């Protein structure tokens, strides 16, 4: 390229004539390199903050899934059914205790009745077979037989009372067994439903955790540990968006001057919310700063480029 051509090119200000001659535009080219480097740094910084926001979004989603899993309605229902089953078992045990007393009394009465009957039968046979037995002895046997009959009647009455008392207990025991069976069925159904619901959430969780690991890798370690510490301390949110004038972490408005300052910082600058201490990320990239040197179509003039530094 000749000097004339350079002069012509510069004078005419041909738009888009980027092929500048070496030597003459060294300073401008150097400035462009620096601008390009700083633009690249801005893009990288912005990318890191975007990854941090993505990490936060994934952590929030994971927390919500974990919470949903812990609070599944089937789990509460299962707890209710388990409590009802325990209650039924306690009532069954009470009924069994009451029944056992009555059953034991019934067994004793029936054994006494059998003994009295046997004794009476022996006496009766002896009386009928007794020829020539003295009248006094016969009278004694007759008295005993009468006495045994009376006692037998009393014991049979008592036995009947025991049977009557057992009836409601048997009915209650049958009702409790039916209740127990119904609760057992309900419990099995709920366990199945809970297992399905948990499996569904677990599948979602594993997808989110894989995405989280990828997002975490895109955030430098020092920023990530700062984020993790904030998140642990501040209810699961370590990084918040600056939406308008408001921090999405604490939902408080920042002073306009502070918002203006933040929005004019080089993209990728890590900012802290004054109110809650969370990392604050402006929602849209700042329009000022990095792009003006590259965006100008007449950027070949040396004064414009060098003033950017
Ligand atoms: Zn805040």
Clarify whether residues 101 and 190 are in a common domain: yes
Q: Domain total for the chain?
A: 2
CA of 289 to the centre of ligand 1 (A): 25
Distance 58 CA to ligand 1 centre (A): 19
Centre of ligand 1 to C-alpha 7, Å, is 56
Query: What spacing in Å lies between the alpha carbon of 244 and ligand 1's midpoint?
Result: 13
Please say if the pLDDT value at position 304 is more than 60. no
Whether residues 172 and 85 share a domain: the answer is yes
Residue 147 belongs to a domain: yes
The CA 305 to ligand 1 mean position distance, Å, reads 38
125 found inside a domain: yes
- For the entire predicted model, the pTM comes to 0.62
Same domain membership, residue 189 and residue 91? yes
Does residue 302 lie within any of the structural domains? no
26 located within any domain:
no
Q: Which of 163, 184, 216 is the last residue of a domain?
A: 216
Ligand 1 centroid–CA 226 distance in Å is 15
* Pair 208, 232 in one domain: no
pLDDT for residue 288 is more than 80: no
Question: How many Å lie between the centroid of ligand 1 and the Cα of residue 215?
Answer: 22
CB atoms within 10 A of CB 167: 9
* Cα–ligand 1 centroid distance for 252 (angstroms): 6
Domain CATH code at residue 106:
1.10.287
Compute the distance from residue 241 Cα to the ligand 1 centre, in Å. 9
Q: Do 230 and 137 sit in the same domain of this protein?
A: no
Tell me if 133 is assigned to some domain.
yes
122 and 199 share a domain? yes
Within a domain: 109: yes
How far is the first Cα of the chain from the last one, in angstroms, to the nearest whole number? 29
Please count the residues of the chain: 309
| Low-confidence winner among 41-50, 181-190, 247-256, 260-269 (lowest mean pLDDT) | 41-50
Same domain flag for 156 and 183: yes
The answer to whether residues 95 and 128 belong to one domain is: yes
Please check whether residue 300 lies inside any domain of the structure.
no
The verdict on 209 and 224 lying in the same domain is: no
Domain assignment of residue 255, yes or no:
yes
Tokens of 79: 């707890």
254 CA → ligand 1 middle, Å: 8
Q: Do 211 and 234 reside in the same domain of the chain?
A: no
Task: Give the tens place of pLDDT for each residue, 60-105.
Answer: 999 999 999 999 999 999 999 999 999 999 999 999 999 999 999 9
Question: Can you give the C-alpha Rg of the chain in angstroms?
Answer: 48
Same domain, 233 and 287: yes
Q: Do 180 and 272 sit in the same domain of this protein?
A: no
Instruction: Indicate the residue among 197, 216, 235 that finishes a domain.
Output: 216
The string of pLDDT tens digits covering residues 189-245 is: 999 999 999 999 999 999 999 999 999 999 999 999 999 999 999 999 999 999 999
Confidence of residue 29 (pLDDT cuts 50, 70, 90): low
Cα of 50 from ligand 1 centre, angstroms: 18
Taking the centre of ligand 1 as the mean of its atom positions, its distance from the CA of residue 56, in whole angstroms, is 14
Over residues 113-125, the pLDDT tens digits come to 999 999 999 999 9
Boundary of a domain, candidates 176, 193, 216:
216
Please give the residue range of the domain that contains residue 253.
Answer: 220-291
């Amino acid at each position: 390229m000749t000097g004339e051509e350079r002069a012509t090119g510069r004078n005419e200000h041909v738009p888009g004539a980027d092929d500048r001659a070496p030597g003459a535009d060294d300073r401008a080219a150097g400035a462009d390199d620096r601008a390009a480097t700083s633009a690249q740094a801005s893009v990288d910084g912005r990318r890191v903050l975007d990854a941090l926001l993505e990490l936060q979004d994934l952590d929030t989603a994971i927390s919500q899934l974990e919470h949903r899993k812990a609070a599944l309605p089937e789990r509460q229902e299962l707890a209710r059914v388990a409590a009802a089953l325990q209650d039924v078992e306690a009532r069954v045990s009470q009924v069994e205790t009451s029944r056992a007393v009555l059953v034991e009394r019934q067994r004793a009465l029936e054994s006494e009745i059998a003994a009295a009957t046997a004794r009476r039968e022996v006496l009766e046979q002896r009386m009928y077979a007794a020829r020539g037995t003295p009248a006094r002895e016969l009278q004694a046997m007759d008295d005993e037989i009468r006495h045994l009959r009376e006692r037998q009647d009393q014991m049979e009455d008592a036995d009947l009372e025991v049977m009557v008392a057992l009836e409601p207990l048997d009915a209650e025991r049958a009702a409790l067994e039916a209740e127990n069976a119904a609760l057992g069925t309900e419990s099995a159904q709920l366990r199945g439903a809970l297992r399905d619901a948990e499996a569904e959430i677990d599948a979602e969780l594993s997808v989110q955790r894989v995405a989280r690991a990828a997002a975490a890798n895109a955030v430098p370690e020092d920023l990530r540990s700062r984020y993790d510490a904030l998140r642990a301390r501040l209810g699961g949110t370590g990084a918040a968006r600056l939406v308008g004038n408001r921090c999405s972490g604490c939902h408080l408005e920042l002073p306009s001057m502070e918002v203006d300052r933040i929005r004019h910082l080089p993209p990728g600058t890590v900012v802290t919310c004054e109110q809650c201490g969370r990392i604050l990320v402006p929602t849209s990239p700042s329009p000022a700063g990095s792009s003006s040197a590259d965006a100008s179509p007449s950027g070949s003039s040396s004064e414009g480029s060098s003033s950017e530094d």
